[in-house]
């Protein structure tokens, strides 16, 4: 039995007058390093936290027993009688009002629905798609009852949203009796959370599902997988909330999606420019036309066709080849320096307009937009300056830092103290890159990172998407209590004195965390 399970079962009984069939628990996460690179195909290094979201579920009694609509060949639920609905309530009724959702895979949220229902609807749609693809029947003749309870701070960069989506999806699949592996649920919830708006990369859902207690997880993608990384003895991680909330999905044209767009366009442009360059110099071979007749050496560059580029990871190998082929040969031999050099050569402007990107790609803006999903089209429609070089430089360097972080953790020749110090430096460098190149920090986060370093952190950085939310700081375990006291005094006392924070909220804003286990489902 996991914490809150019995309590939630009792609350469910009280709310709906029947017991739940299943209760799912999905944890939030803190990302140690690897920010804004999952959606560009690169691995990241999060760990689960104990704060979780729980979803208790049952069929509503009193209607004919659930019948299996055939999901075979179709992901659509069938409705023979009345419209099937899901009745939804939250233990925190004041914050998250109750209501109901009409259940149909193509249903839209009614305008007066509570905002948090977007995540439940997304989970439902994702589960319908998954069951349909698996030719699994979706029972649809009874209404569904759902009760949610969660203690992951919302808008804090600790993935309260994905904890909710994962818990809801696990509960639904359990109710329907549709089997799915953690990796399958990770893929389906990553895709379906995009219905809410943000075009994320899958880190949050994957670690929530696949985390193991006591270790960080190196999460990689395509296909999604997670391997444990042992952290050095004596490492302590403290999470601190900067008190500015970061709600990434508020608008379709969010800051988050603008970053995804910038990275996607940087990848397309790098592929196009590399193709042009290689045609001229013969270094990588092939234009972006007539691929079907290409020779075998050109075959290896087939993915360079710019229209097909979705992630910067796909461009990295060609960039390295480009840098290595320059005359005179580069002095810097390190992959990271070569990458940086190549990006600076190929994307020299401080910023680009969509029109300029389209011109460089040899198409018109509308043709370019047509290649993007609607959420990225909406981001492009804002007409903001596109800082392609800076975003690409962040992604390439941050992905290297993730690998270095894993290498330091695994290096048996290093003492634990040396490991801690090197990990701290990598975390500091990550924050500098997020703040400078990626511009996803904010004044409050920078002040808190500063306060953490002044209080003895070996490294500190924003965690999650940024623009508010939390900082994660690395400390030698023995120093953690004094650190927390000093940060509380320096950062939170002024907020307490000004009445911006109640003393009982402090514990949720500043806490030490250890790697927790992943999601679980209890059938009642
Ligand atoms: P983050 O994932 O960083 O916490 P998001 O902006 O992505 O921030 O998600 C926060 C949103 O998730 C909230 O505004 C709310 O709609 C939803 N949410 C989070 N926790 C809960 C909860 N316990 N109950 C209901 N909705 C929740
Ligand atoms: P948070 O901070 O939990 O919203 C988001 C994305 C991640 C990742 C990080 C930045 C979603 C659901 N989550 O996390 O995939 O891109 O930002 O590293 O979109
Ligand atoms: Mg989120």
Spatial distance between the Cα atoms of 378 and 260, rounded to a whole number of angstroms = 12
Which of 164, 250, 251 for mutating ligand 1's site (highest number of atoms within 8 Å of CB)? 164
Nearest CA to ligand 1 atom 13: 154
3-state secondary structure of 17: coil
Regions of the chain with pLDDT less than 50: 65-80, 284-302
Q: CA angle, 15 as apex, 13 and 18 as ends, to 5°?
A: 35
Which of 248, 260, 433, 471 for mutating ligand 2's site (highest number of atoms within 8 Å of CB)? 248
Nearest CA to ligand 2 atom 13: 200
Spatial distance between the Cα atoms of 422 and 425, rounded to a whole number of angstroms = 5
pLDDT at residue 254, as a whole number: 84
pLDDT at residue 350, as a whole number: 98
Catalytic residue among 38, 151, 204, 288: 204
Which residue has tokens 């806490």?
Answer: 511
Residue pair 278/225 in contact (Cβ under 8 Å)? The answer is no
Convert the pLDDT of each residue in 285-316 to its tens digit.
444 433 433 344 444 444 578 999 999 999 99
Spatial distance between the Cα atoms of 196 and 375, rounded to a whole number of angstroms = 10
- CA–centroid distance, 460 to ligand 3, in Å, is 21
In total, the chain counts a number of residues equal to 524
With the C-alpha atoms ordered 404, 409, 410, 411, is the resulting torsion angle positive or negative? Answer: positive
Spatial distance between the Cα atoms of 300 and 284, rounded to a whole number of angstroms = 9
* Atom number of ligand 1 nearest to Cα 249: 6
Nearest CA to ligand 2 atom 11: 200
The tokens describing 493, both together, are 């006392």
Convert the pLDDT of each residue in 389-431 to its tens digit.
999 999 999 999 999 999 999 999 999 999 999 999 999 999 9
Is 204 an annotated catalytic residue? yes
* Atom number of ligand 2 nearest to Cα 440: 10
Spatial distance between the Cα atoms of 304 and 267, rounded to a whole number of angstroms = 9
Which of 161, 195, 471 for mutating ligand 1's site (highest number of atoms within 8 Å of CB)? 161
- Which residues, at least 6 apart from 489, have a Cβ–Cβ distance to it below 8 Å? none
Is there an atom of ligand 1 within 6 Å of 8 CB? no
Mean of the per-residue pLDDT values of the chain: 90
Give the DSSP H or E segment for 255. Answer: helix 255-281
DSSP classification of residue 66? P
Structure pTM? 0.92
The tokens describing 434, both together, are 């997020």
């Amino acid at each position: 039995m996991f914490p809150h399970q019995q309590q939630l079962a009792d609350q469910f009984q009280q709310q709906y007058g029947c017991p739940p069939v299943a209760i799912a628990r999905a944890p939030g996460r803190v990302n140690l390093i690897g920010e804004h690179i999952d959606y560009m195909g690169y691995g990241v290094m999060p760990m689960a936290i104990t704060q979780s979201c729980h979803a208790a579920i049952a069929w509503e009694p009193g209607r004919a027993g659930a019948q299996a609509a055939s999901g075979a060949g179709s992901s659509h639920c069938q409705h023979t009688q009345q419209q099937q609905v899901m009745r939804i309530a939250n233990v925190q009724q004041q914050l998250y009002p109750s209501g109901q959702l009409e259940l149909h895979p193509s249903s839209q949220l009614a305008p007066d629905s509570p905002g948090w229902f977007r995540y439940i609807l997304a989970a439902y749609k994702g589960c319908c798609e998954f069951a349909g693809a698996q030719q699994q029947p979706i029972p649809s003749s009874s209404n569904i009852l759902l009760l949610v309870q969660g203690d992951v701070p919302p808008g804090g960069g600790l993935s309260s949203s994905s904890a909710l989506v994962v818990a809801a999806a696990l509960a639904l699949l359990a109710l329907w009796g549709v089997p799915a592996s953690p990796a399958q649920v990770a893929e389906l919830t990553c895709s379906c959370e995009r219905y809410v708006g943000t075009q994320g990369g899958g880190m949050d859902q994957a670690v929530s599902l696949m985390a193991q207690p006591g270790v960080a997880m190196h999460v990689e993608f395509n296909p999604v997988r997670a391997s444990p990384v042992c952290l050095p003895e004596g490492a302590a991680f403290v999470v601190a909330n900067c008190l500015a909330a970061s709600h990434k999905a508020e608008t379709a044209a969010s800051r988050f999606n603008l970053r995804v767009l910038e990275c996607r366009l940087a990848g397309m442009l790098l592929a196009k420019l590399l193709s042009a360059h290689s045609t001229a110099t013969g270094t990588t071979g092939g234009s972006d036309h007539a691929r079907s007749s290409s020779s075998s050496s050109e075959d290896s560059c087939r993915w360079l066709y710019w229209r097909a580029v979705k992630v910067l990871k796909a461009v990295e190998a060609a960039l390295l080849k480009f840098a290595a082929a320059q005359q005179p040969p580069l002095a810097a031999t390190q992959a990271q320096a070569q990458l940086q050099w190549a990006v600076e050569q190929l994307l020299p402007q401080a910023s680009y307009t969509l029109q300029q990107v389209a011109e460089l790609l040899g198409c018109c803006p509308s043709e370019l937009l047509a290649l993007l999903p609607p959420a990225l089209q909406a981001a492009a429609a804002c007409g903001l300056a596109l800082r392609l070089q800076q975003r690409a430089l962040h992604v390439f360097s941050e992905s290297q830092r993730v690998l270095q972080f894993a290498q330091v953790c695994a290096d048996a020749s290093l003492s634990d103290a040396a490991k801690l110090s090197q990990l701290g430096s990598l975390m500091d460098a990550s924050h500098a890159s997020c703040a400078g190149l990626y511009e996803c920090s904010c004044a409050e986060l920078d002040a808190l990172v500063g306060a953490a370093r002044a209080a003895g952190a070996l490294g500190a950085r924003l965690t999650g998407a940024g623009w508010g939310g939390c900082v994660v700081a690395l400390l030698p375990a023995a120093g953690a209590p004094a650190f927390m006291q000093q940060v509380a005094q320096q950062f939170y006392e002024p907020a307490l004195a000004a009445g911006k924070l109640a003393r009982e909220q402090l514990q949720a804003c500043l806490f030490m965390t250890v790697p927790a286990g992943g999601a679980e489902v209890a059938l009642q």
